[in-house]
Amino acid sequence: MSQPPFLPPHAPEPAGASNDPLKGLPSPFGFSGGNQVAVLQGGRQLFPAMIEAIAHARHEVWAASYIFEDNPSVTAVIDALCGAAQRGVQVRLLVDGFGCNATLPALSGRCLQAGVSLAVFRPLQGWWSWLQPIQLRRMHKKLCVVDDKVAFVGGINLIDDCFDQRHGWSEQPRLDFAVSLHGPIVGSVRSVVRALWTRAWLGNEFREEVSAMSQEAHPLGRLRRLIRRLRMPVRASAVRLATSHIPMRAAFIVRDNLRQRRTIERHYIAAIRQAQERIDLMSPYFYPGRAFRRALRQAASRGVKVRVVLQGKIDFPIAHLAARMLYDEMHAKGVQIFEYQPAFLHAKIALVDAHWATVGSSNIDPLSLLLNLEANVIVHDASFNAELACYFDAAVVNSREVGPRDSRYFWFRPWQQAAVAWCVRLYLRVAGRSGRY
């Protein structure tokens, strides 16, 4: 992917920068070197890159998306998946039962006809499905892996940039990002999406699998193969970590409800605590927990420049209300808050100093940090950081800064803040989560 014309060819390291930017950071999936990571803005850049990769697929394609909408730009992606399946490539697609509830019948028909293996994560079969608290935990990842050679990770759903499920079509595309990946990190992405697809498929087709297994000549062998597909990696290869230090050093991290419950949140907090110069956060939904907010306040208090870009064009009023509740708290420590104006904001990116950057699906709110299945890529590389910083700065230019004297945000009272916090705690408790946030 070519870099934008305004990108500097190289961003110099700040004086006194640590020789090991990974020091002190939790890395359950491990950082590997020798990766190529490129920024993709919106579906207008992501979808053509995916289609090209799928067109050259020879063995397998794994894909996952929270939302699917049958827009023309997305139809081209589905056409590519179907075309790959028809020429003998194993194509497996995973979608979320809630995010794709309305469009699932049409998608299922196309996949069945073309030979694409479709799995649905926690399908909704009626209103009674919501009586199960586990339904509040959704598959929010957006992933694609082709032949273990290239992967795509980010926040971009299979939906047109100018279409919103609640508000319809708009003239300006939403702001969103993904990354394309080459190198050792692709294997981690493949392992995760394969395990996710297998778990969703097994949950929907359990009886058929048990029946098929009972008719096998060697059922234990089939069971072992199935267990291997269900597993996700916990750490990268120790040899890889010890010997590979060339750019780009990157890690693929996830949040699940098994062993990686707060991994993404901890990576954020660890990076914020080590910040020396700047912290740039962009998220459509912003309601971090106590530890996250404390880390931001402490960073701003020690002189770190902290900028947060949030939504200016609102899609979910209650989510925006929750974010506004924190404005005064952030302003008190010098945090700058901006609201993006041209279109809907859906990007989930962050930068810390000159090396640390992340792009992914995780918002900075309790649904993403505590409930949903999420995936982010963290990159330690000065040139990638500089490229992503250009996109962040461009968003700031197109945003309205909300100052501490903005009268619109002073009418909130402590009891209203307490009401929002109570609603969040109630939602988390109904979903099966307890403890401090």
- CA distance to 10, 39, 46, 376, 392, per residue, from 386 (Å): 8, 11, 20, 18, 10
Angle at 297 between CA 257 and CA 379, to 5 degrees: 55
DSSP-assigned letter for residue 158: B
DSSP-assigned letter for residue 25: -
Beta bridge partners of 377: 252, 359
Q: List the structure tokens of 74.
A: 């997305």
The catalytic residues are 140, 142, 147, 346, 348, 353
For residues 378 and 263, what is the distance between their CA atoms, to the nearest angstrom?
12
DSSP-assigned letter for residue 399: E
What are all long-range contacts of 318-325, with beta carbons under 8 Å and residues at least 24 apart?
319/284, 319/285, 319/287, 319/365, 321/420, 322/285, 322/286, 322/287, 322/365, 322/420, 322/424, 323/285, 323/286, 323/287, 324/409, 324/412, 325/287, 325/412, 325/416, 325/417, 325/420
Beta carbons within 8 Å of 119's beta carbon, 6+ residues apart: 92, 93, 94, 95, 197, 198, 200, 201, 204
Measured N-to-C along each axis, helices 317-324 and 414-430 cross at an angle, to the nearest 10 degrees, of 130
For residues 344 and 100, what is the distance between their CA atoms, to the nearest angstrom?
20
For residues 74 and 187, what is the distance between their CA atoms, to the nearest angstrom?
26
Name the pairing type of β-strands 163-164 and 168-169. Answer: antiparallel
Are the beta carbons of 180 and 145 closer than 8 angstroms?
A: no
Are the beta carbons of 26 and 263 closer than 8 angstroms?
A: yes
Q: Is 216 exposed, middle or buried (0-12, 13-18, 19+ CB in 10 A)?
A: exposed
Phi first, then psi, for residue 207 (nearest 5°) are: -65, -40
For residues 175 and 347, what is the distance between their CA atoms, to the nearest angstrom?
6
